[in-house]
Amino acid sequence: MHKVLYIVYYYPPLGGSGVQRGVKFSRYLPHYGWESVILTPHPALIKHPKDRSLLKDVLPTQKIYRSFSLDARWLFKILWGLGLPQVVNWLRYHLFIPDAEILWLPFAWLKIRKIIKQNQIDLVFISGPPFSPMLLGRWIKRRYQLPFIVSFRDDWSFGQSRLDNPPPRFFTRLERKLEHDVLAASDHVVVVNRAYQRDLLSLYPDLPPQKFSVITNGYDESDFPAEIIPREKDKDKLQIVHAGVLFGRRRTNLIWQAVVELAQEGLIDPKRIRIDIYGHNFASFVFKGFENDPVIRQMVHLHPYLPHSQSIDIMLQADALWLYSGPGAKSDVELPGKLFEYLRAGKPIFAMIHPEGVCAEVLKPSGLGFIADNSDPEAIKSQFLRLYQLWEQGKLAPEPDWGLIRGFERQELTCRLAEVFDTTLAVFRSGSAEDRKGRGS
């Protein structure tokens, strides 16, 4: 069995949607001839939600090396509290390059030396964000003659956050150089959707398209119970659930305005609707502009972050699920990880998304989508009303395309990743053999 050194910052007991991809890959890779050796920071000082229920997905035989790490986000929190956001920005753009997790690299570097000494590593796989660990790839390749693959779970230098809060030009130039150097030195690149591949090739036309593979996020069938626990409360209400954080562009004013107008027009009865939002959300953001609106405050309920297993139960008990990607430039590249568990739940999905983006490409053929343009108030209003009326008439009965949905199962996706590993390793070894032959002659 081959061994892959899997460098991943977010790994159980850290929680959140970003953890799922790493822990599921490591769980199922042995089925396809690859044993993973995990390198991740020790969670004690990491400022991130913890979810110990995810530890059940870690194989008892899984090798995990945890190295010490400082987390600059604790410092950022103090500086924000002191009213010094300009100091935070200076640190980000002058010291923590490309991201604050650069503080982990010296400790990771020391641990890598130990890992490679103790294990017969064949290949290195580095996941981002954060993207600073990818800087280790070239050093590992040069020092240990090992191929490395980088995996983009999110965009690095060209995403919405860069458009909405553009960094100084000197930082962008440096960041782009680092990104290009990583991509050029890597033996292969895995991205979660085709839009990331498109954008990276547009930024760096010297990269060959065949260097990229698209492996989306997904769902794990084993996370879903055989029987659905019936909902106990508000059975007579249309319950819509949103799992995850609303922030940045995901402003709620468009949907709240639509709901209020529908109620004022007598087209919906707000007493028969319940919207539950789960995650580390702030009421000041979620209710902004509608803080004292009786319709919204009666209908919408905020809940804290739930362990992943409980989150699945909540999805299965809901009548519909709410998916939202913020409007604006590059909203077409958003493909939220929660979409795939939403699909497996088999519930209608009220989706405020880019109507021609990668998310819509997945959702349209699924048979579950109530898709509204995330920048069109009338479309949002129309789709919400359609969802409500079908439920009121007892006709909210979607017909999921299970053949399509099963293609996003974690084991299927891990099989594809293992094939990328196999091909990359074979090509690297073939090239290394040719190099040795050339030097020998």
The CATH number given to whatever domain includes residue 239 is 3.40.50.2000
- Same domain membership, residue 301 and residue 212: no
Q: Are residues 386 and 425 in the same domain?
A: no
d(CA 4, CA 32): 12
Task: Give the pLDDT confidence of 391-427 residue by residue, as tens digits.
Answer: 999 999 899 999 999 999 999 999 999 999 999 999 9
Angular region, 129: left φ>0, alpha ψ -120 to 50, beta rest: beta
- For residue 436, pLDDT beyond 60: no
Average pLDDT of the residues in 59-84: 93
Average pLDDT over residues 51-68: 94
| Claim to verify: residue 192 and residue 274 sit in the same structural domain | no
Asked if residue 149 lies in contact with residue 189, where contact means CB atoms within 8 angstroms, the answer is yes
| Mean pLDDT value of segment 187-211 | 96
Q: How many Cβ atoms are within 10 Å of 2's Cβ, its own excluded? A: 17
**Strand 273-278 with 238-243, pairing:** parallel
Distance, in Å, from the CA atom of 329 to the CA atom of 158, rounded to the nearest integer, reads 11
pLDDT in tens, 293-303: 999 999 999 99
Tell whether 47 and 179 lie within a shared domain. yes
What's the average model confidence in pLDDT over 137-162? 92
- Confidence category of residue 18, pLDDT binned at 50, 70, 90: confident
* Residue 69 pLDDT > 70: yes
289 and 237 belong to one structural domain: yes
Per-residue pLDDT at 440: 54
pLDDT-based confidence at 441, cuts 50/70/90? Answer: very low
How would residue 432 be classed by pLDDT, with cut points 50, 70 and 90? Answer: low
Same domain, 12 and 126: yes
Q: How far apart are CA 248 and CA 250, in angstroms?
A: 5
Q: Are residues 207 and 280 in the same domain?
A: no
Scored b (16 or more CB within 10 A) or e, 209-222 reads eebbbebbbbbbee
Map residue 266 onto helix, strand or coil. coil
CA distance linking residue 119 with residue 71, whole number of Å: 28
Q: Give the Cα separation of 30 and 84 in Å (integer).
A: 48
Is residue 240 within 8 Å of 274, Cβ to Cβ?
Answer: yes
User: CB neighbours (10 Å) of residue 184?
Assistant: 12
Average pLDDT over residues 373-383: 95
Assess whether 347 and 426 both reside in one domain: no
Q: Measured between alpha carbons, how far is residue 133 from residues 43, 47, 59, 328, 389 in Å?
A: 16, 18, 24, 30, 50
Establish how many alpha carbons lie within 13 A of residue 149's alpha carbon, considering only the half-sphere containing its beta carbon: 27
At which residue do the structure tokens 């502009």 appear? 289
pLDDT digits (tens, 9 = 90+) for 129-145: 999 999 999 999 999 99
434 pLDDT band, cuts 50/70/90, is: low
In the DSSP assignment, the letter for residue 252 is: S
Longest CA pairwise span in the chain (Å): 85
- Asked if residue 280 and residue 264 are part of one domain, the reply reads yes
Q: 3-class SS at 98? A: coil
Does residue 230 share a domain with residue 187?
Answer: no
Give the pLDDT score at 221: 96
Whose CA is closest to 437, among 120, 121, 429, 141? 429
Mean pLDDT, the chain, as a whole number? Answer: 93
212 vs 54, which has greater pLDDT? 212
Distance, CA of 108 to CA of 161 (rounded, Å): 27
CB neighbour class for 22 (10 Å; exposed up to 12, middle 13-18, buried from 19): buried
Q: Are 210 and 188 in contact (CB under 8 A)?
A: no
Q: What is the pLDDT of residues 204-217, one digit of tens each?
A: 999 999 999 999 99
pLDDT per residue as tens digits for the range 250-260: 899 999 999 99
Q: Could you tell me if 146 and 192 lie in one domain?
A: yes
Separation of alpha carbons 441 and 437, rounded Å: 6
The residues near 232 (Cβ < 8 Å, ≥ 6 apart) are none
- In this predicted model, which residue has the larger pLDDT, 230 or 418? 418
Separation CA 33–CA 39 (nearest Å): 19
Residue 225: CB atoms within 10 A of its CB come to: 11
Asked if residue 266 has pLDDT above 60, the reply is yes
For the segment 234-252, what is each residue's pLDDT rounded down to a tens digit?
Answer: 889 999 999 999 988 889 9
Report how many domains make up the chain.
Answer: 2
Angle, alpha carbons 165-167-169 (nearest 5°): 140
The whole-angstrom separation of Cα 100 and Cα 45 is: 14
| Shared domain check, 235 and 154 | no
In tens, the pLDDT along 274-285 reads 999 999 899 999
**Residue 192 belongs to domain spanning:** 2-218+410-440
The pLDDT value recorded for residue 417 is 98
Can you give the pLDDT at residue 169? 92
- What pLDDT digit, counting tens, does each position of 303-354 carry? 998 888 899 999 999 999 999 988 888 889 999 989 999 999 999 999 999 9
pLDDT tops 60 at residue 9: yes
Type of residue numbered 350: F
User: Does residue 282 contact residue 320 with C-beta atoms inside 8 Å?
Assistant: no
* Order of strands, sheet of 238-243, starting from the edge strand that comes earlier in the sequence: 300-303, 273-278, 238-243, 320-324, 349-353, 369-373
Average pLDDT over residues 144-148: 97
CA dihedral defined by 25, 28, 30, 34, rounded to 10 degrees? -30
Short-list 361, 369, 311, 312, CA closest to 334: 361
CA distance 370 to 148: 41
